[in-house]
Chains A and B, each alone.
Chain A
Amino acid sequence: MNQSVEFHARIRRALDNAQGRHNFRSAMDGFRDKRAAQFPDEHCLCEQRALARTVRGNALRRLPDLLEQLEQNLERNGIRVHWAETPEEANHKVQELLQAQGATRVVKGKSMVTEEIGLNHHLEQNGFEVLESDLGEFIIQLAGEAPSHIVVPAVHKNRHEIAALLHRYDPDIPLTDDVDRLTQEARRILREKFEQADAGISGVNFAVAETGTLCLVENEGNGRMCTTVPPLHIAITGIEKVVEKLSDVPHLLRLLPRSATGQPITTYFNMISAPRRPGERDGPESVHLILLDNGRSRIHADETFRQTLQCIRCGACINHCPVYVQVGGHAYGTTYPGPIGCVLEPQRLGIDQIGTLASACTLCGACGEVCPVGIPLPKLINRIRAESVQGGADSPVRGAGTLRRGPEALLWKLWAGIHARPMLYRLTTRLIARMSGLLPNRLGPWTRYRTAPRLATSTLHEWAKRQGYQDE
């Protein structure tokens, strides 16, 4: 089926789900208020954002060098580095590493990159037991769903739905509205799993080239458990997550949680620099990092689109998106929803696959306004639209031009033909104004929600001429 038809079906489903919409609205309103409270001083935010953008921009400008340096320093620290071009390569590498250790039970910390490559599915198909240990991820794993948000994956569920899921998983867990109680029950289940696990898999927020340090930001402590308790830790991240120096990290870290959830700082901040050393009492015996490309090099090659890779995955653009708040994350049908998804996914997967996402945007600018690393999201969405209909073989985006439809293109040609010929424009608008009484009251989807616009019986051009207004 055509991507646009599928997209509209998902949108319809999302809009028909009153409970889901209510959940998104109240959660996003909350995140917006909390974020605003964290940035009382606009000037201060501008300075911090400029610094963060510089840090990310510098890292991307020197990406190949920094990745080499990162690899050297990680290896020196005893962390093995593996490169994966495609999701398949990454999945097989994980499987290989697990099998080499005879590992079968895996706990995972939250990682969008593993969602991107479908790691859970791959591992489960190959006989591994995979358990998501982030509470939100655990909940949607129980529900058999994908995350609806990159920071709060189960944000579409309310406490009643969560209670029902937990109860179904373990009938000993009571059906209760008490969030603390539910959290305690989930914690009890997860603790057992941490102790039994053969391997832990995590993402990475920042990979520091200078020191070979993997930084992991989280709130629940599950990330720390995943990366310290099991004997094997495998971290997976996109190649763009590298930063140059350890001193770059605070510039990003002070913006990330405040932008994401309105927290001044997260409960946990992990800096992983080596496996367990002789004499140390805890930590994994071996640590591996898989660096995934999956289209990022191609995005990196275009200077404008490269800004997409500045993203630190805070989700602020999503929280502030007026479209996301209506339809939620599943409607997008991609790993990354919202404004960053509209920009990243068509580049990653191709315009011919999912370019239509860029239509789900009013270009209101809310995303660009809150992005802590200054990604010009509206500008990039607009550019994706241009590549979709007018991009040619030289376009940096795969599938460019594939959304060009003859009738629509003809309509714009006609539009330009009229608006680039002032005399013809004046004649046409005058005729339309004369016939304004004949305009139907029903104008397709517009009048499903609104009355038809009332056209003037005489245009402003005509009035200005009658009044004697001059050109010079």
Chain B
Amino acid sequence: MNTPDSVYFYATCLVDLVYPQAGQAAMALIESAGIRVIYPADQTCCGQPAFNSGYRNEAREVVRRQLNCFARAIPIVVPSASCAGMIKHHWPELFAGEAEEDRVRGIAKRVYELTEFLVEVLHLELTDYGEPVRVVLHNSCSAHREMGVTRHIGQLLKQLTQVEVVEPVHATECCGFGGTFAVKQAEISGAMVEDKCRDIVDTGASRLLSQDCGCLMNIGGALDKSQAGVRAQHIAEFLRERSLEPER
């Protein structure tokens, strides 16, 4: 698509309340290409927690109230593959046969995961101003299998000359978050994240990057708990931190 003059930024509830700095970084990256960012004040949550727990009526109610947020035919950028996947694939499923179906489909078509947007639409070029570092990449399950956007995060990181990117063994295996799964099946979730942390620590990287805050909260929390010395960070923050020219 042609580069738009402005985009909607859909922050997601997790970024809003737990990782606002990731949202700020994502918005700054988009703006660095001269694009205006619109932040709809009425956005809340994509409805995924309820939808994945079987509470479709509640999910629909929450989504319905936000459909007005995206009136203009411009891209909607989401700093989470999981929430982007919810809007792109499951909103249409949720509204199949409902009055809003066509509108929802129109919105779903305009959704981009952040790194996908930075690469495919903005063709963002980055200069690396940081120190040499080894990072381990955790592509979320949604990035892999729902949005198909794992190559984009890789393409962005490749531009950073001082950054060595590694992947853990079992790279495509789920970290065990799964939203309410982490609560309902806490013990399995704990066993899964334990395995994931071991594979991550084995890479010798000092930082863990992902495009999804759910994974970061899960793996990052487990890494902190075991004092593994690996810091979890959203890709947007990392990109901004590395590519901003240091102030002189």
Contact = CB atoms under 8 A, between A and B. Distances in A.
Contacts of A461: 11, 16, 41
B231 to A, nearest CB: 13
Nearest to A462: B20
Contacts of B37: 469
Interface in B135-184: 141-142, 144-146, 170, 172-174, 176-179, 181-184
Interface string B45-87: 1010111111111110110111001011000000000000000
Contacts of B182: 445-446
Contacts of B58: 412-413, 415-416
Contacts, number: 201
Contact of B145 (A368, A385, A458): A368
A39 to B, nearest CB: 14
A368 B144 CA distance: 12
A451 B232 CA distance: 13
Query: B-side binding surface: helix, strand, loop or mixed?
Result: helix
B72 A472 contact: yes
Interface residues of B, number: 75
A456 to B, nearest CB: 5
Contacts of A446: 182-183, 186, 221
Contact of A382 (B18, B52, B72, B172): B52
B17 A11 contact: no
Given A326-B192, A412-B50, A425-B44, 17 more contacts: A11-B187, A326-B195, A362-B189, A365-B145, A382-B54, A385-B53, A386-B55, A386-B56, A413-B58, A416-B50, A416-B58, A422-B41, A444-B186, A446-B182, A456-B17, A464-B39, A471-B69
Interface of B: 11, 13, 15-21, 23-24, 37-45, 47, 49-59, 61-62, 64-66, 69, 71-72, 93, 141-142, 144-146, 170, 172-174, 176-179, 181-195, 217-218, 221-222, 224-225
- Kindly list the 7 A-B residue pairs having the minimum CB-CB distance in the complex, ordered from nearest: A362-B178, A450-B221, A445-B186, A385-B54, A364-B174, A365-B145, A449-B190
21 contacts: A322-B173, A327-B191, A364-B178, A365-B141, A366-B141, A382-B52, A390-B54, A390-B57, A412-B53, A412-B58, A416-B50, A416-B59, A416-B62, A444-B186, A445-B183, A446-B186, A447-B221, A447-B225, A448-B190, A450-B224, A464-B41
